[in-house]
Structures are given as structure tokens and as C-alpha cells.
Amino acid sequence: MSTTSPITQNNAANAATAAGAAAHKSASSLGVSDFLTLMTTQLKNQDPFKPLDGTEMVSQLAQFGTVSGVQQMNVTLGALSASLRSSQALSGANMVGHEILAPATGANYYGQQLGGAVQVADGASSVSLTITDSSGQVVRHLKLATASGQQPFGWDGLTDAGSQAATGHYKIEAVANVGGASVALPIAVAARVGSVSLDKAGTGLTLNTAELGAVALGDVQQII
């Protein structure tokens, strides 16, 4: 006739109770306090002749704490991201109405003067700015100062013939003569910020302008 140890019966009953409780609560909803309660119950009802491995339990607790810490960090990072998004939106709103300088190879002319700056290389003997329409026709040549560094330019919309240019997109190129060789120079065009936009992730701020279209905040060289 077989007999069952009271300790074994007690452990079996505790296991059944724990399994029932687990069925009503998903693992993802267990907190640190729940884990400690389960661990304490296990220790109270362990077989004294076969004690639980304390090292293993400590390792499980450490792993659970790590997961809990990561979850809390994700919550904190989410709150920080929302705060940064709000801050960036507010900063962007303050830029509406201001002029910016951003790198460009062309701009939209709509009856207002187009301006900007050209980065002139050292040793330039001459610097010329060429404005070309969408058909590839050169409409205006401008001469700029040859001193090295940023040199401003402005186009009033007049062609070389003295007529008014039509509204539209125009290509802008700057070339310097340096030691007898033609060197293309970087150009930055001035544009007025009409509105700002945030991407879905809230990590990128875009400045919307009439002259250059959408300009990423990171591309802005100067705020005027």
C-alpha cells in the first residue's frame, strides 16, 4: 500500500493554487511584488529534505528586476520623447516669420527679391553668379566681390535685357576664377519661414518656405 507524504501533498496543493492564480493573470501583468509573493510562498512550503536552490531563485529575481527596469526605462523614454517633441514644436513656431540661410542650387522667384550668400574661395580673381530659368536660358549675370568668405548677393528679378522675369523656379550658380581655373562655389539662399512641420516620429522639424520649399532644420546655416 503506497502512502503520500504530507509535505508532498502540501506542495501539490500549493502548485495547483499557483497555477490557478497564474491562469487569471498574464505574465506581462506581473509586478515585482507579485514575483516576491510567489517566491516567498515557495520558500514557506518547500520540502525541507529537498530545499530550493537559493542561487537559482536569486538569479530569477535579478532577471525579473532587469526586465522591470527596462520596462520602466521605456516609459521614461516615452515621456522624454513627448516632452522633446513639444519643445521642438514650440521652438519651430518661434521661427515663423524669420529669414533663414540654407544651401541651395535654385529658388522660387515670385516677384520679391531673391538674396543669399556665396562662399568665395581664397585667391579668387573674379566671381560671377548666373541665374537660369527652367528652360535652361540664362536670364541674369551678376558680379560679386572677390574677397574670401561669405559674399552677399541679391537679384531683383530683372533680366540682363532689363525686363521683368516671370515667376517660377530659377537655378543659381556661382563660379570663381582661381589661378586661371573655374571653381564652383557653394551658395546659400535666403528664405522666409511661413510655417513649420514635425514628422510622425517627432524627431525632425521642417521649415516651410516659399523660396526654397521644405527645409530641414539641420540644413539651416543662419537665422536672420
CATH no. for residue 201?
Answer: 2.60.40.4070
How far from chain centre, in Å, is Cα 66?
A: 28
Say yes or no: 20 and 75 in one domain: yes
Angle between helices 32-44 and 54-93 (to 10 degrees): 170
Domain-located, residue 1: no
Domain-located, residue 170: yes
Mean pLDDT score of the chain, rounded to an integer?
A: 79
DSSP letter at 95? T
Model confidence pLDDT, tens digit, residues 72-121: 766 666 565 555 565 666 666 788 899 999 999 999 999 999 999 999 99
Confidence class for position 6, pLDDT limits 50, 70, 90: very low
Domain-located, residue 47: yes
**Can you say whether the dihedral through the CA atoms of 52, 56, 58, 63 is positive or negative?**
negative
| C-alpha cell at position 212 | 526654397
Say yes or no: 129 and 214 in one domain: yes
Say yes or no: 123 and 87 in one domain: no
Say yes or no: 114 and 136 in one domain: yes
Give the other-Cβ count within 10 Å of 9's Cβ.
10
Instruction: Return the H-helix or E-strand segment holding 108.
Output: strand 106-109
Total domains in the chain come to 2
Single residue among 77, 92, 107 that ends a domain in this structure: 92
* Most confident range, picked from 36-40, 158-162, 205-209, 218-222: 158-162
Q: What percent of the chain has pLDDT over 90?
A: 50
User: If you average pLDDT over residues 121-144, what whole number do you get?
Assistant: 96
Q: Where in the sequence is the domain holding 122, given as residue range(s)?
A: 99-223
